[in-house]
Structure 1
Amino acid sequence: MQEDFLHYVWQHQYFDKADLRTGQGEALVVLRPGYRNADAGPDFLSARLQLGEVEWNGAVEIHLRASDWQRHGHHTDARYDQVVLHVVYAADAPVHRLDGSEVPVLALGARLAPTLLTAYDQLMRGPAPDLLPCAAALPTVPVLTRLMMVERVLLERVAEKAAGVQLLHEQTGADWETTAWQLLAAGFGFKKNTEPLARLARALPLSVLRRHRHDQRQTEALLLGQAGLLPADAPDEYCAGLRREYDFLAHKYALAATALPAHSWNFLRLRPANFPPVRLAQLAALLHRLPRLFQPLLDAPDVATLEKLLLAPVGEYWRRHYRPGVAAAGAVPGLGRSSAHLLISNVVVPLRVAYAQSVGDQAGVEAAVELLTQLPREQSSVLAPYEALQFVHRSAADSQGLLALRQGYCQPRRCLHCAIGSRILQPPLSPAAR
């Protein structure tokens, strides 16, 4: 059993309260369990309790064993002098405040229903998280509870991504155009090369790219050269021209010191169409097409418009080559719609949410999240268990919500913080309460 479980039990008052008494024999009535404290100090604040004939307002501290009070050093911490009740699973020792006064204790071990303990044990020790800890009990959970939880974690995921965009915005000196550039560049890494592409975006100022965006070949030279992917001994004339162009521009703008080494990039277990040079050529085409990045991404009214913006055609050379000097057997696939959809999910939506939050535009936040409902659901093996258990999975909004549920709750077994887990642990209503 984890202490977090006792926090949950106390917060929801899921224990037998008949003839409730402290370990000292004093009658106890819980008028208000208090509010969970997320900072240092006692676990619950502003609790209201009646001990005997006296009503107390103060804090509640929770431990598995009463002796944990001493082990955690609370007997020497003045913050715990406000504790009016010590809630434990087992009362194995008396505890005292700094002034020596004994803290009333409530032992819950004998007051927890066996069905509650069994349900909790099944969640914590059940099948591997990939199979969902709650799989066996899930049929007892209403569909509405599942839908509400997936929607909740979707908003949590979007808010977390938007917070990352806000941080990037601060780091760029509150420049939304540079924020959009760095975010979009990282997005073109599609996980395997996200980190080196983010570094490349920082090493190649947008101000430099803007001066040469009218020439797609020069944009390619800047991106590929600064990425360290243009060898000095160029394998063909096109790459030799790119190298000469890059050398000139790197000298002009003092770029060489921040250029990435070639070994920064991941090619292993990537399909050739996903190789970094191809992605950089696609990014160069997009920069060439859009004189500005931020406003078009912000103003696009729907997914179809965003697809047209993102699916810019690459230069002729990169339709036939995966790497400098390495010709493909056939045509090299361009940026596909599925990749564009990932960019919308992971770049455009968080960018728009962050901006809308910064200007206090709640309608803009909702419109940005709404874009996810226009995207098809993501095909992912990690979501298969949820589909097998009849979770609704119709759009990218559902995909993002289910991924957030898996990563934030199912895998770390945070069932006590999940609406689905809470429903499973909820005791049945008594006949009088029905």
Structure 2
Amino acid sequence: MREDFLHYVWQQQYFDKQALRTHTGEEVTVLHPGFHNTDAGPDFLNARLQLGEVEWNGAVEIHLRASDWRRHQHQTDARYDQVILHVVLTDDQPVLRTDGTPIPTVALAGRIPLDMLHTYQQLQAAPPATLPCAPFLPRIPDITRISMVDRALLERMERKAATVQLLHQQLDNDWEATAWHVLAAGFGFRKNTEPLARLAKALPLRVLRRHRHNLLQTEALLFGQAGFLSATENNTDDLADEYVQKLVTEYEFLRHKYALENTGLQEHEWNFLRMRPANFPTVRLAQLAALLHARPLLFDALLSAQNVAALEQFFSAKSSAYWHTHYRPGRAGNVPALGRSSMHLLIINVVVPLRVAYARTVDQAEQVEAALHLLTQLPAEKNHILALYEGLPFTQRTAADSQGLLMLATAYCQPLRCVECAIGSRILRHNSVLK
């Protein structure tokens, strides 16, 4: 058993409260269980309890064993002096505040309904890479599943938006610079997200803005700061290419002009392994350069686009002719343009979080809804995580569905946080033991 199950049992008061007494024999009446505290300190705050003849207001701390109090060093932490009741499964040791006064303890062993306990154990015992609640799902109302996926979708987008908001603060509240950083990371398409994020830091938007009208110079800045224009013993022939030589010449001039020495990346920091040439970071850099060249105001365009079609048009900027026939500097090969599926990933991972972050910053709730509506215009994604939900009563028609299910899987199902999920809670509440 995990402690979160006892949190759930206490919060919902799913235990036998008849003749409930502390370890010293005082009768306990729960007037209010308190509010779950997700920050540091006791587990539940502002609880109201009657112990014997006296009503108390304060905190409740929950452990599987009373001895966990000392193991967690609560006896030396003044934040826990406000605890008025210690709720445990097993009472194996008295507990004290920092001043040495005892804290009343209640043991719930034998008071939790057996059906609920067995159901919880069954959920927790699910094999890896499976959905714990799958056997129970036919008994769960559609509204419960749908509302939980919707909640998970909002949590996922809020989490992504919080990262964007933090970046926005670090960039002196400049939304255009924020859009550049988020867009650059997005063009990494997971395998190269981290190096592209570092490239955005190594290449300030103010420098790119001055040369965005010249595609060759924009490419030179990106490829140079990415480390693809530096000579090594392995790429001498590649850099002899006439077009690449132009990039090298432009970059050397701009590098000195803007004092970019020692701020860029090196070629070995990029991932090429097990990737198709169309996904190589060099191809993505060429596409990003074309976008910067063709779209002078990134943030305004991404914020004002009314639908997916407008955003697809935004992302359709064509890279220079050289990058239609080369996938790395000096290496020939046919390269397709940025595909619709890639555009859709950029809308999901860049545009929507950026717009949600902006809406939260300016306190415009309707803009959050508008941003999430974009996801309903996109087809659902497909990957090994979402495959877990195929054949089960979950809808997977749009990106809103798949993004919600991804959050459900990674934040609830895989870490077995069943008691914090509306679906798991309903299963436990109805004691639905699978026979």
Q: TM-score, normalization: structure 1? A: 0.93
Partner in structure 2 of residue 392 of structure 1:
395
How far residue 261 of structure 1 moved from its aligned partner, in angstroms, is 1.2
How far residue 100 of structure 1 moved from its aligned partner, in angstroms, is 5.3
Judge which range, 32-41 or 306-315, deviates more. 32-41
Aligned counterpart in structure 2 of residue 245 of structure 1, from 234, 250, 258: 250
- What SS does the aligned partner of 2:199 have? helix
Aligned counterpart in structure 1 of residue 270 of structure 2, from 255, 265, 269: 265
2:365 pairs with 1:362: yes
How far residue 56 of structure 1 moved from its aligned partner, in angstroms, is 2.6
Judge which range, 392-401 or 226-235, deviates more. 226-235
Are 1:64 and 1:90, in contact at CA under 8 Å, matched by a contact in 2? yes
Partner in structure 2 of residue 378 of structure 1:
381
The 5-angstrom pairing of residues 264-303 of structure 1 reads 264-303=269-308
- What SS does the aligned partner of 1:345 have? helix
Instruction: Encode CA deviations 1:85-105: one digit per residue, 9 max, x unaligned.
Output: 222212223444456554333
Instruction: Encode CA deviations 1:300-324: one digit per residue, 9 max, x unaligned.
Output: 1111000001011111111111111
The 5-angstrom pairing of residues 117-136 of structure 1 reads 117-128=117-128, 130-136=129-135
Partner in structure 1 of residue 240 of structure 2:
235
The 5-angstrom pairing of residues 41-190 of structure 1 reads 41-97=41-97, 101-128=101-128, 130-190=129-189
Q: Closer, same or farther in 2 for the Cα pair 1:101/1:315, shift >3 Å? A: closer
Long gaps (5+) in structure 1? 430-434
Instruction: Encode CA deviations 1:356-379: one digit per residue, 9 max, x unaligned.
Output: 221121111111111111111112
Q: Closer, same or farther in 2 for the Cα pair 1:131/1:101, shift >3 Å? A: same
Partner in structure 1 of residue 191 of structure 2:
192
Q: TM-score, normalization: structure 2? A: 0.93
Separation of aligned partners in 2, 1:206 and 1:79 = 46
- What SS does the aligned partner of 2:382 have? coil
Cα RMSD of the aligned pairs, angstroms, is 1.9
- What SS does the aligned partner of 1:109 have? coil
How far residue 163 of structure 1 moved from its aligned partner, in angstroms, is 1.0
How far residue 39 of structure 1 moved from its aligned partner, in angstroms, is 3.7
Q: Closer, same or farther in 2 for the Cα pair 1:98/1:122, shift >3 Å? A: same
Q: Closer, same or farther in 2 for the Cα pair 1:46/1:211, shift >3 Å? A: closer
Separation of aligned partners in 1, 2:396 and 2:277 = 30
Long gaps (5+) in structure 2? none
Q: Closer, same or farther in 2 for the Cα pair 1:134/1:98, shift >3 Å? A: same
How far residue 421 of structure 1 moved from its aligned partner, in angstroms, is 1.2
Separation of aligned partners in 2, 1:346 and 1:29 = 49
**How many residues are aligned here?**
426
- What SS does the aligned partner of 2:50 have? strand
- Give % identity: 65
Partner in structure 2 of residue 326 of structure 1:
331
Partner amino acid, structure 1, of 2:49: L
- What SS does the aligned partner of 2:160 have? helix
How far residue 66 of structure 1 moved from its aligned partner, in angstroms, is 2.5
- What SS does the aligned partner of 2:189 have? coil
Partner in structure 2 of residue 418 of structure 1:
421
Partner amino acid, structure 2, of 1:324: P
Instruction: Encode CA deviations 1:175-213: one digit per residue, 9 max, x unaligned.
Output: 111111111111111111111111111111222222222
Separation of aligned partners in 1, 2:63 and 2:42 = 11
Aligned counterpart in structure 1 of residue 406 of structure 2, from 394, 403, 407: 403
Are 1:14 and 1:427, in contact at CA under 8 Å, matched by a contact in 2? no
Partner amino acid, structure 1, of 2:351: V
Separation of aligned partners in 2, 1:324 and 1:98 = 67
Q: Closer, same or farther in 2 for the Cα pair 1:93/1:228, shift >3 Å? A: closer
How far residue 224 of structure 1 moved from its aligned partner, in angstroms, is 1.2
